Amino acid sequence: MSGAGATVRRHRFDGGDGHAQGPQAGDRLLACGGALPFLAAATVPAGRELVLLSGHTPPLIDASALADSTAAYGDTFAQTDGTLRELQSTLHRLGLTMGELVQLRVYVVGDPALGGRMDNEGFSRAYARWFGTPEQPQLVARTRVQVAGLVNPGWLVEIEAVAVA
């Protein structure tokens, strides 16, 4: 089937694919339990539109904190969850849902509370609330990198996305 009604094919990591790195080198399970929900690849059929979404950042959660502090936006878990909520809001304005996402590029700053290391567990726990759930079963292809910083020094997370309309 091709054209506007064609379905996106989502290719899971299956463990036997010879990809020695696996889903991000041993990042298959959360420390708190549960599998991480993301794909090896997604195939977009001809006739479908790609929607490229600019980077989304976390919402302010504490207006009494300095605007350029992590206290204003929360830890990596809170920032990831808030950023995905912001992304969902943008998708809804475009007539799309989280289930129509096919790729995420995630930029994570090292958390000062963790000696400058990225809070992988905090990010992953929040991420797992949004993908591969009974409410939103679709998975996305994903890249996550640690960066030195983002535009606002209080931000620990920025997420770019690609959706299919």
pLDDT digits (tens, 9 = 90+) for 26-59: 455 555 555 566 788 899 999 999 999 999 999 9
In three-state secondary structure terms, 73 is helix
pLDDT by residue (tens digit) across 81-94? 999 999 999 999 99
- In sequence order, the β-bridge partners of residue 29 are 35
What's the whole-model pTM score?
0.86
Note whether 37 and 10 are within 8 A (CB): no
Query: What element of type H or E holds 88?
Result: helix 76-93
Q: How far apart are CA 139 and CA 37, in angstroms?
A: 6
In three-state secondary structure terms, 89 is helix
Copy the structure tokens of residue 108: 């994570």
Name, in order, each residue with C-beta under 8 angstroms of 29's C-beta and a sequence gap of 6 or more: 35, 36
